[in-house]
Amino acid sequence: MSQLLGLVLLSFAVTCVFMVPFIELLYFLKRRFQKKLQDFKKSETPIHDQLMKGDLKTPSGGGILIILILIILSAGYGIFSGTPDKISLKILLLSLASFGLLGLTDDIKSIITKRTGKFFGLSRRRMLFIQSLLALSIGGMLYLWGGLNNIYISGLGNFIIGGWYIPLAAFIIISFANAYNISDGLDGLAAGLLLICLFAFLALSSRSLDLTLASFIGIWIGALFAFLYFNIWPARIFLGDAGSLAFGATLAVAGLLTGKILALAIIGGMFVIIAASSLFQILSKKFLHRKILPITPVHMYFKYIGWEESKIVTRFWLAQGLFAIFGLWIALLSR
């Protein structure tokens, strides 16, 4: 336990040292390309853009630094500590790096190209196609390298599904990657929700003596603490697509490695709700030709009706805390 706490503190300290100069670098890059971002075309999401108008001057890309720190510290710890379960560590790092690179491509395009509505960079279709390839590859690693081929549901038992585990894992990874990306809209919201989820999975991995996963999550928690200091309202930096896609996908992989798929869905309950609100809006517009709410995801609706941003974020954090406790209880019941 003392070693794990030391990793949390080390990660926090390293991130604090590099965060301020990294923020200054992002501000410099944003000013460098500010002229390109001033020529707006008619937006596809005018309500969303009006609500987010005050955030246009804040740079994105904080996730890039956290990904680098997490990879370097986790890989270094794995090498020098002689971690026995190097397969799990490799899968976690590959998940983080691959989805991070995908998001980084989108982040770079958002800086050097002109804006055309809410979305920047890669098209939705192309983004989903690449995500599917990456998620299927990671699902194959979990199945072939990690030997995972089952679903355990408390009260119902263990179900061996063989090769069907790969598409199931891919679906979960894609869902969480996009759910996290959608939730990254208010200052401190996504990072705070993730931090609460990680504490739950830290408890699960420590209880099962999975030191590799526990160490990785501990390093992740330390880095997020430092980032959240600069990300809470009023934010000095945003996560960006690199961080949001990578963190959502890696959270799903961490949950899959625990073998608690149901607990993953419950512990990440607020991400599920946020993603569901956007999904229902899309389906309603497609099939019913009308909107369920004036704007989604749901946290943006609360901002639309006049809730203060800090009020929305803290109440979502509280709800996430309850989901984490409930999911942890469900997971421990299945032991």
DSSP state of 162: G
pLDDT at site 58: 79
Q: Which pLDDT tens digit goes with each residue over 8-31?
A: 999 999 999 999 999 998 888 777
Question: What is the end-to-end Cα distance of the chain in Å, rounded?
Answer: 21
Question: How open is the CA angle 60-66-71, to the nearest 5 degrees?
Answer: 140
pLDDT at site 256: 94
Contacts for 1 with CB less than 8 Å, ≥ 6 apart: 206
Alpha-carbon distances of 300 from 25, 121, 150, 175, rounded to whole Å: 29, 22, 37, 20
Residue carrying structure tokens 């598409």: 167
DSSP annotation string for 188-249: THHHHHHHHHHHHHHHHHHHTT-HHHHHHHHHHHHHHHHHHHHHSSSPS-B-HHHHHHHHHH
DSSP state of 232: S
Give dist(CA 253, CA 321) in Å, integer: 20
What's the whole-number mean pLDDT along residues 302-311? 91
Closest CA to 240 of 113, 98, 66: 66
More confident residue, 306 or 35: 306
More confident residue, 332 or 111: 332
DSSP annotation string for 7-61: HHHHHHHHHHHHHHHHHHHHHHHHHHTGGGGS-PPPPS-HHHHHHTGGGTTS-B-
Closest CA to 183 of 102, 59, 278: 278
pLDDT band at 116 (very low <50, low <70, confident <90, very high): very low
Is residue 282 within a helix (H) or strand (E), and if so which, with residue range?
helix 269-283
Q: Which pLDDT tens digit goes with each residue over 175-220?
A: 999 999 999 889 999 999 999 999 999 999 988 878 899 999 999 9
